[in-house]
Amino acid sequence: MTATDGSTGETELNALGVGRALGVLGLLAVLGGLVTILQPSLASDTAFGYGFVTLLGVVILAASLRYWVGLALTTVESATPPSVEERREISIPGVAFDRTLADHRLTAVSRLRARRDVLDRLRSVAARIHERDHGGSDGQPDADVFGEDAETVLFDDADREQGLTGRLAAVRAKGTPLQRRVSDVVAELARQYDGERVSVEFDVPERTTATRPSAPGLRATNRFRLLKPMALSAVGVGVVFGSAALLLVGALFGGVAVYAAADSPPTAAVRVTRSVETDQPAPGESVRVTVSIENTGDRLLPDLTVIDRVPEGCSVTAGSPRHGTSLRAGATATFGYELEAVRGHHEFGDAAVIVRNLSGSFERVADVSADGDASITYDVTAVTDHSIPLRKQTSRSVGRVVTDVGGSGIELHSVREYRTGDPLNRIDWNRAAAGEDLATLQFREERSATVVLLVDARVEAYVAPEADAPSAVDRSVLAAAESASALLAADDQVGLAALSPRTCWIAPSSGHAHRTRIHEQLANAEAFDPRPPDRSFKPAIRLQSIRKRLPSAAQLLVFSPVCDDEVVDVVRRLGASGHATTVISPNATGGRTPGRTLARIERSLRLSRLREAGVRVVDWDAEESLALSLDKAGRRWS
């Protein structure tokens, strides 16, 4: 067990000692005043009289006033535990556009900039739709999308909606004039693109703000903060007016306050043990995690909370990773929960332990390293029962890809004149029986392919249609693992690369050991981490390195959501280098808001540009399996 405490512990201990001493002195003063009120003869026997008692009461009231002022500046505090159940926030295509429309906090300059960005985005989509429908004749969108003046249509009277009256009217009308106008324009763009009217709804998800957990250390909870001013006020008034009842009430409150201040601070002497049901589950499989807590100290822990830090890429599906209990010395408590993830290697964090003393006046926060299992890796090994359709770019080795080269095979390619040494089983004996010259049958040769799997793992590719859905990178990595298994089973040579600031390269090869190596990289390599990289990069930088390493006969399977124009340029440049390219694109768009509708249209237009450049595209919807999407695409290509 390793507990981490902050430097605040020493400060809190010093304050605890001072508070105890002041509490004891205050209680003695209360008792002395009480005795003086009840037995005036004791005061007359001393050098002090009621003047001193009255003065003492005034001093106590002044002290209580100080505490009342301090009370207004303090609150009851308790440790903030880490948020372990919440999944990391993931980008949803189009939500940023919607939030720009919904943000009322923009300054005048920011509002003008936002308007310009919105207008440029709408004009760009309109121009691409026009280019698609009219062959790029003039690059101008249809006039009925915006009308005569786009600025007037979208932003006329937009300033007046910023006032209180305009905002109240916007609430009644379900959106500001700007939001409604942009929604109408997007709906018209969707109609022109899809050929039918699409309902566009303005709905912006709320931003989630991450809470910062409390730092390790000992801290006062201020749970009894009312007792001190109440006790001092009661004693002060009782002393001034000679009320024994108020003195007794003050003594009672003061006694409880002294008890809370004198209560021993808690310790975090616990041992945490974690056990994972299986450390290599299949993607999407729920895994049972069992956590045991043992009190290794010699004191009762009356209020103990343990929070097991779930890996960031995992979601809790049943139970809870937090547990509250009380433990006597040597006792053990056990709890469990279930989690799941799509793929990747996930490390558990230290368990957070929060211990309070019996009165609840102090609590200690500590990070405790857990014994037992510390990580979980989702096994990406999966073999699809559907072959991967490949292009006719092959190597000279025998394989399954039917080529346009004549030779040995199954499918007839052509007939040529007989040459000495031609195999007898390829001579056209029917032609010979008819008295014609000998001829040799040529069949389409079947050769193996060299395929490099290129996974788009840039920060822009970590998108999903919903906040709780697998990201496009998650789906791409699983699809790459399935593709590698299927291709290697068909005796093709397979390599692996990442389009990411975090590099990964495996040269094309074959065999069982090579398959294991690819799967290990997809599961554990930093380039395919379930968390997005903390920096962006220019794909052109990585492109040069990939092109140098690619064998001349290699074709590419690119896995990307195609969420921006940069990846389109990368794919087209790879195709222009002589590498036949197929894009498997997990669809991460969805929803009916203006921004999400625009994102869907823009992605479809990008896929169309790839098809126009001779790139095969598999549009992989989130509701379909990879095998079904490949089958649909294969029928279109055949």
Q: What is the CATH number of the domain that holds 581?
A: 3.40.50
Q: State whether 255 and 298 are in the same domain.
A: no
Measured torsion, CA atoms of residues 531, 536, 538, 541, in degrees rounded to the nearest 10: -60
- Render pLDDT for 333-347 as a digit per residue (tens, 0 to 9): 999 999 888 787 888
User: Does 498 share its domain with 442?
Assistant: no
Q: Residue 517: inside a domain, yes or no?
A: yes
Q: Does 349 share its domain with 482?
A: no
Structure tokens at 252: 């009672």
The reply to whether 350 falls in a domain is: yes
Domain that holds residue 403: 398-447
Distance from C-alpha of 378 to C-alpha of 465, rounded to nearest angstrom: 22
pTM: 0.71
Binning pLDDT at 50, 70 and 90, where does residue 400 land?
A: very low
Kindly state whether residue 107 falls inside one of the protein's structural domains: yes
Percent of the chain with pLDDT over 70: 70
- Residue-level pLDDT at 61: 72
| Position 438 in a domain | yes
Has residue 134 been placed in a domain? yes
Question: Which pLDDT score is estimated for 81?
Answer: 73
Residues 68 and 132 in one domain: no
Higher pLDDT, 205 or 567: 567
DSSP 399: E
Is pLDDT at 109 greater than 70 in this prediction? no
Task: Assess if residue 84 is contained within a domain.
Answer: no
Same domain, 334 and 410: no
Structural domains in the chain (count): 5
Residues 454 and 443 grouped into a single domain: no
Tokens of 106: 């923009």
464 and 548 in a common domain: yes
- pLDDT cut 90: percent of the chain above it: 25
> Could you tell me if residue 212 is inside a domain?
no
User: Which residues face 307 on adjacent strands?
Assistant: 322, 352
Residue keyed to tokens 């009289």: 49
Report phi then psi at 202, rounded to 5. Answer: -95, 110
Q: Are residues 628 and 479 in the same domain?
A: yes
C-alpha dist (Å) from residue 154 to 116, 119, 149, 180: 11, 8, 9, 9
Please say if the pLDDT value at position 285 is more than 90. Answer: no
- Whether residue 12 lies inside any domain: the answer is no
Beta bridge partners of 559: 455, 584
Q: Are residues 461 and 560 in the same domain?
A: yes
| 346-395 per-position pLDDT tens digit | 889 899 999 988 877 788 889 999 999 988 888 777 555 556 666 554 44
| 495 and 623 inside one domain | yes
Q: Is 264 left (phi over 0), alpha (psi -120 to 50) or beta?
A: beta
Strands 362-368 and 3-4: antiparallel
Is residue 71 predicted with pLDDT exceeding 70? Answer: no
The CA distance from 112 to 109, in Å, is: 5
Average pLDDT taken over every residue of the chain:
77
To 10 degrees, what angle do helices 565-576 and 594-612 make? 10
**HEC profile of 91-139:** ECCCHHHHHHHHCCCCCHHHHHHHHHHHHHHHHHHHHHHHHHHHCCCCC
Q: Could you give the CA distance from residue 60 to residue 341 in angstroms, rounded to a whole number? A: 61
